[in-house]
């Protein structure tokens, strides 16, 4: 998911200071989950980072963030048809561990901080990300803020997880299944 637009321009367009760690928090297209405590804790406790919150179709959440969060480090956005430019500007992804979002984090080599589990398959997605070094599970606002603060202090921590995607099997799923069947028949 590379963007033709230079990263610095994407970040500037989103209002992210160049020196800040950029964290994209998404809770899916519907914007589900108990999100405000994570955002409030980030705004209060984290320095040197910007939080781009994608609220999906949840206009009530977007309104609450706009009315309650005054920190300039929090950038709230409603539903976005295409988030590729936002992800290209990110240093870290955070939020719900849906299959698409988790796969995007792995494919783009951007570490994922899992804050919420929604559908039953998301627990398996989270385990895969954590056990394979693609990110961390931080289900509490304070742990989330602590992890982001650690990454602000040690930017190499972001790059450490990103190298792990190189080792991932990049074959399409159907090709992988076909290869497994052929191996079984041989």
CA–CA dist 93, 101 (Å, integer) = 9
CA–CA dist 73, 56 (Å, integer) = 19
Domain boundaries, the chain: 7-185
- The reported pTM is 0.82
What the block records as the tokens of 21 is 């760690």
What the block records as the tokens of 45 is 């406790």
| CB-count burial class (<10 Å; 0-12, 13-18, 19+) for 170 | exposed
Options 1.10.3720.10, 3.40.50.2000, 3.40.50.300, 3.30.160.20; CATH of 7-185: 3.40.50.2000
Per-residue pLDDT of the chain (186 residues; tens, 9 = 90+): 566 888 889 999 999 999 999 999 997 666 566 889 999 999 999 999 999 999 988 899 999 999 999 999 999 999 888 888 999 999 999 998 888 888 999 999 999 999 988 888 889 889 999 999 999 999 999 999 999 999 999 876 665 655 554 444 555 555 666 666 677 776
Radius of gyration for the alpha carbons in the chain, expressed in angstroms and rounded: 17
CB proximity list for 53: less than 8 A, separation 6 or greater = 25, 26, 35, 39, 65, 74, 75, 76, 77
Q: What is the rounded end-to-end Cα distance, in angstroms, of the chain?
A: 37
């Amino acid at each position: 998911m590379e963007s033709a637009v230079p990263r610095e321009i994407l970040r500037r367009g989103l209002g992210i200071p160049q020196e800040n760690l950029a964290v994209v928090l998404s809770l899916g297209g519907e914007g589900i989950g108990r999100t405000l405590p994570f955002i409030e804790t980030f705004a209060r406790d984290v320095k040197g980072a910007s939080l781009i919150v994608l609220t999906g179709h949840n206009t009530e959440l977007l309104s609450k963030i706009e009315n309650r969060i005054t920190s300039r480090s929090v950038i709230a956005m409603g539903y976005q048809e295409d988030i590729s430019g936002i992800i290209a500007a990110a240093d870290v992804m955070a939020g719900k561990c849906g299959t698409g979002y988790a796969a995007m984090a792995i494919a783009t080599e951007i570490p994922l901080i899992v804050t919420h589990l929604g559908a039953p398959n998301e627990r398996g997605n989270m385990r895969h990300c954590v056990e394979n070094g693609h990110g961390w599970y931080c289900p509490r606002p304070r742990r989330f803020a602590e992890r982001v603060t650690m990454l602000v202090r040690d930017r190499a921590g972001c790059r450490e997880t990103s190298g792990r995607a190189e080792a991932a099997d990049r074959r399409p799923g159907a090709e992988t299944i076909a290869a497994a069947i052929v191996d079984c028949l041989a």
